[in-house]
């Protein structure tokens, strides 16, 4: 049974990478053997197990980010703080940055979507993006 892979460039799964020999301008071996995605020829891919581990982390982080968003929003509403500069905002930003770094297959606006996630419906929409990969 072969390992599955996920390409972070084209967001596709595949069973076996293709290989090519990079000569680096040399006339004779040894050459460097490079593994590439068979769909887009990128070398930026991870094993499926790594992708699943990240997905499981996301399933745990997303509800925490949503609850933190709700808490911060409530504090701003109650105390009338327009721009609350605090450890909570820093924690929120760090959680979102970690998730975006782990899933660099998402476009940039994903960060804004995470910042706005305050309802179960918002959470479900974000999780559907993960499910569609």
pTM check: above 0.75: no
Determine the pLDDT at residue 84: 57
Q: What is the DSSP letter of 4?
A: P
Pairwise CA distance, residues 24 & 55, whole Å: 37
Taking residues 97-115, what's their average pLDDT? Answer: 68
pLDDT, one tens digit per residue, over 79-98 is 766 555 567 777 777 777 77
- Residue 6, CB-side half-sphere exposure with 13 Å CA sphere: 18
Determine the pLDDT at residue 77: 74
Range list of β-strands (E), the chain = 5-7, 13-14, 18-22, 32-36, 45-47
- Residue whose C-alpha is closest to residue 106's, from 80, 78, 132, 72: 132
The total domain count for the chain is 2
Pairwise CA distance, residues 47 & 117, whole Å: 29
Q: Does residue 61 share a domain with residue 32?
A: no
Bridge partners of residue 5, in order along the sequence? 14, 47
Q: Is the pLDDT of residue 127 over 90?
A: no
Q: Does residue 40 share a domain with residue 69?
A: no
Q: What is the DSSP letter of 2?
A: P
Domain that holds residue 39: 5-46
pLDDT, one tens digit per residue, over 7-62 is 888 888 888 999 999 888 888 888 899 999 999 999 988 887 766 777 777 788 88
Q: Does residue 28 share a domain with residue 58?
A: no
Determine the pLDDT at residue 125: 82
- Residue 43, CB-side half-sphere exposure with 13 Å CA sphere: 7
Q: Does residue 33 share a domain with residue 21?
A: yes
* Least confident residue range of 22-26, 65-69, 99-103: 99-103
b/e burial code for range 45-84 (CB count within 10 A of at least 16 → b): beeeeebeebbeebeebbeebbebbeebeeeeeeeeeeee
* Least confident residue range of 13-17, 30-34, 69-73, 108-112: 108-112
Q: Does residue 33 share a domain with residue 66?
A: no
């Amino acid at each position: 049974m072969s390992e599955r892979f996920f390409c972070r460039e084209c967001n596709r799964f595949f069973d076996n990478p293709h290989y090519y020999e990079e000569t680096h301008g040399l006339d004779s071996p040894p050459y460097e053997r490079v593994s590439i995605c068979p769909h887009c020829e990128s070398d930026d891919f991870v094993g499926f197990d790594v992708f699943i581990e990240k997905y499981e982390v996301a399933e745990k982080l997303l509800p925490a980010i949503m609850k933190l968003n709700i808490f911060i929003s409530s504090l701003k509403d109650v105390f009338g703080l327009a721009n609350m500069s605090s450890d909570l905002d820093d924690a929120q930003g760090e959680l979102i940055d970690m998730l975006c770094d782990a899933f660099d297959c998402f476009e940039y606006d994903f960060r804004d979507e995470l910042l706005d996630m305050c309802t179960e419906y918002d959470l479900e929409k974000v999780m559907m993006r993960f499910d569609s990969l």
